Amino acid sequence: MIYLQVLANGVVLGGLYACIAVGFSLVWGVLNVINLLHGSFIVLGAYVAFFSYHLLGLHPFLSAPLAGMLLFVLGFGLQGAIINRVVHAPVLMTLTLTFGLDLLINNAMLVAFKADYRKIVLEPPLGSIALGEVILPLDRVAVMVLALLLTLLLYQLLRLSRLGRAIVAMRMDHDAARLMGINVMRMSAVTFGIGAFMAGAAGSLLSIIYPISPLNSTLFLGKAFVICVLGGLGSVPGAMAGGVVLGLIESFSALWLGPEYAVTVSFVLLIVILAVRPTGLLGKRGFE
């Protein structure tokens, strides 16, 4: 049954996509900043994994937290020092600012790491398992499970910890949050840092599946756009739903129309959904 196989591929892909998008969705939802740096953050995470694997012999699954921490520091610094200064300016300003920062960081990566596509080849390879007639590559499944675990951790962090409640409070109402004694500027930096953490960790996990290159950043960023619009903005379940839906759409459009149309289909869908139902498929807002 080819449909079962395509379905399984789509769901696995969807798990990876959820992890790509959840940090982007958090930053957009809470800070109202479209972080065009997100794609570059993911690629940076992948480079951390690449160099830890080749220099330190660290498995990409183990270097994911390390990549996340490094990216957290970078994100915290960027938001605290630069983006916070214009966070209340009109949409155009923050969007343009993150575009400028992305040009800077992406160009820095090109100079430092070159545009060559690199790949982590695991020794020994993980192989694949067969469930009936459906064959699943184990590396993808492992990455999906870890990605979902990370996403779930973020969800629990937002729901249960004091830090998480402060972020949710900010998402509901910046001014009221400030009145309740939340240091909005600091928490904005922390939120942006967490978004960067998720991107870095996701990039590190994905490094065993996708080739690594600075040129890939727009690819990841485009996926994050589509997923956020599909799932609705600013909630962890929304990002997960959007990720799975996008994974399925890409798998089935590759089957029916050919793989070269997968990107076109997802972007056309983005415009249609925005035009018809801008709140996304779940139609719910917020990190409540």
Partner 1 sequence: MRDWAILAAGVTLFALLPLLGGNYALRLGTIFAMYAVLALSWNIIGGLAGYPSFATAAFFGLGAYASAILAGKSVPMLLAWAAAGIVAATFAVVIGLAILHLKGHYFAIASLVLAEVLRELTNSFADLTGGGMGLNLPVLRWTVGQEAQFFFFAMLVLVALTMIAVLLLRRSTLGFALRCIQQNEDAAVMLGIGARGCKAVAFMLSAVFVGIAGAIYASWVHYIEPGDVFDVLYSVKPLVMVLIGGIGTLFGPVIGAAVFLLLEEAVWRSFLTIHAAVLGGLIVLLVLFLPDGMLGSRKARLVWRG
Minimum distance of partner 1 from residue 223's CB (angstroms) = 12
Q: What distance in Å separates the CA atoms of residue 199 and residue 197, rounded to the nearest whole number?
A: 5
Q: What distance in Å separates the CA atoms of residue 193 and residue 2, rounded to the nearest whole number?
A: 42
Six token digits for residue 60: 């990409």
Could you tell me where the DSSP H helices lie in 115-137? none
Residues contacting partner 1: total by CB under 8 A: 41
x-or-dash string of contact with partner 1, 98-137, rule CB under 8 A: -xxxxxxxxxx-xx--------------------------
Segment interacting with partner 1 (CB under 8 A) among 126-134, 203-211, 245-253, 255-263: 255-263
- Contact between 91 and partner 1 per CB under 8 A: yes
Out of 4, 56, 73, 89, the only residue in the binding site for partner 1 (CB under 8 A) is 89
Minimum distance of partner 1 from residue 269's CB (angstroms) = 10
Minimum distance of partner 1 from residue 190's CB (angstroms) = 21
Q: How far is CA 37 from the centre of its chain?
A: 11
Segment interacting with partner 1 (CB under 8 A) among 19-27, 124-132, 162-170, 265-273: 265-273
Q: What distance in Å separates the CA atoms of residue 170 and residue 183, rounded to the nearest whole number?
A: 10
C-alpha torsion 195→196→200→206, nearest 10? 40
Nearer to partner 1, 90 or 181 (CB): 90
Q: What is the DSSP letter of 133?
A: T
Q: Is the dihedral of CA 65, 71, 75, 78 positive or negative?
A: positive
Out of 27, 225, 231, 238, the only residue in the binding site for partner 1 (CB under 8 A) is 225
Write the CB contacts of 260 (distance below 8 Å, at least 6 apart in sequence). none
Minimum distance of partner 1 from residue 278's CB (angstroms) = 6
- Contact between 256 and partner 1 per CB under 8 A: no
Please, is 65 exposed, middle or buried when counting C-beta atoms within 10 Å of its C-beta (0-12, 13-18, 19+)? middle
Segment interacting with partner 1 (CB under 8 A) among 60-68, 78-86, 158-166, 168-176: 78-86
Out of 169, 229, 230, 240, the only residue in the binding site for partner 1 (CB under 8 A) is 229
Q: What distance in Å separates the CA atoms of residue 81 and residue 75, rounded to the nearest whole number?
A: 10
Nearer to partner 1, 11 or 95 (CB): 95
Q: What distance in Å separates the CA atoms of residue 154 and residue 243, rounded to the nearest whole number?
A: 16
- Contact between 149 and partner 1 per CB under 8 A: no
Write the CB contacts of 33 (distance below 8 Å, at least 6 apart in sequence). 27, 83, 87, 94, 98, 192
Q: What is the DSSP letter of 55?
A: I
Nearer to partner 1, 97 or 196 (CB): 97
Contacting positions for partner 1 (CB under 8 A):
28, 32, 34, 82, 85-86, 89-93, 95-97, 99-108, 110-111, 218, 222, 225, 229, 260-261, 263-264, 267-268, 270-271, 274-275, 278
